Amino acid sequence: MPSDKRQRQKEREQAARETRAAAVRRQQKRRTWTTIGGLTVLVFVLAFLFSVLGGDDGGEDAATDTTVEEGVGDTETESPGEITETAEPSDDDEPAAEPVECPAEDGSSEPRLDFPAPPPDCLVEGATYEAVFDTTEGEIRVLLDTEETPQTTNNFVYLARYGYYDDTEIFRSNTGIDILQGGAPHDNSPGDVGPGYTIPDEGAEWTYEPGDLIMARSSLGAGAQFFFGAGPDVSGLDFGGGSSDAGTYVKFGSTVEGVDVLEAILANHVDGVEGTEEGAPDPVPVIDSVTIVQS
C-alpha cells in the first residue's frame, strides 16, 4: 500500500508540473501575439501619418512620372495610320532655358540641330512666308499659314533658317494614307531625337488634301518632323476618321508648286518590313535645302 500511495503522489506531481508548463506556454503565446499585434498597429499608424503629412508631394511626383512614361509608350506603339514623332524632351527639375535668338532672315546663320527651348517669335507681322524645298526629285514650294497657325509656322521658319532640314531624307511613305514624311536630321526616322523641345498643337478637327504640309506629333505636341499629303487618300486622316488621332495633325501650309513632285515620289513607294502600304520611296529623296522666302 505505501508503494501504491507513493506512486499516486508521483503521478499527481507530474500532472501538476505538466499543467504549470502548459500554462507557461499559453502565457508565452499570448505575449508573442500581443507583440505582433502591437507592431502591426504601429505600422498602420506610421503609414497613416506618412500619407497625411507627405502624401500630397509624393502623389504629385508619381502622377508626373506616370504621365511621362505613358506618353513615351503611346508614341512608341504606333499603328500604320499614325504620323508620329517619337522623341520627346526629358522632364526634369532644371529651370527653363532661354531660347536661341532668331536666325538671320537670309539663312546665313550657323547651322544648328539642337536647341535648349522653343523659339522666340521671329515672324514679321503682315509678312508672307513661303518654304522652298529643293529636293533630288524636284522643287516643292509651300505657302505657310501665318494666320491660322502662326506658332507652328514660326517654328518651321526658325528651324529652316538654321539649316535644320538641309541634307535630310524623305524617309517614310505610306500609300494607305498617301503621305511622305521627313524632318529628322539626326537619324532620318520617326525616332529622331528632335530639336530638343516641343510646341503645342494649334487647332484641331483638321481635314487634309494633296499638297498640304502637316506637322507630325508626339504625345506632348509637335517638334520638327512634318509630312506632306501626296495623294487623295490623305483624307483618311480627316477629323471624324477611324483613328483616335484623326484631325489632330496641324496643317500649316499648302503646296503652290510641286504637287506633281510629291505624286512622283509617292509613286516610287516600296513596302517595308512592317507590311503593305508602309515603307519608303526608292530612291529615297534628299531635301538638299529648305529656303524661306519672306515678302
Tens digits of residue pLDDT in 78-92: 444 556 665 555 555
Whole-number pLDDT of residue 61:
37
Whole-number pLDDT of residue 96:
79
CA distances 179 to 59, 176, 205, 243, 287, Å, are: 42, 8, 18, 15, 16
In angstroms, rounded to a whole number, what is the distance separating the alpha carbons of residues 264 and 270? 13
In angstroms, rounded to a whole number, what is the distance separating the alpha carbons of residues 261 and 281? 12
In angstroms, rounded to a whole number, what is the distance separating the alpha carbons of residues 79 and 295? 40
Whole-number pLDDT of residue 49:
54
Q: Domains along the chain?
A: 129-294 (2.40.100.10)
Whole-number pLDDT of residue 24:
46
Residue 205 Ramachandran class (φ > 0 left, ψ -120 to 50 alpha, else beta): left
pTM higher than 0.85, yes or no?
A: no
Task: For the chain, state the CA radius of gyration.
Answer: 34
pLDDT < 70: residue spans in the chain: 1-95, 242
Cis peptide before 283 (omega within 30 of 0): yes
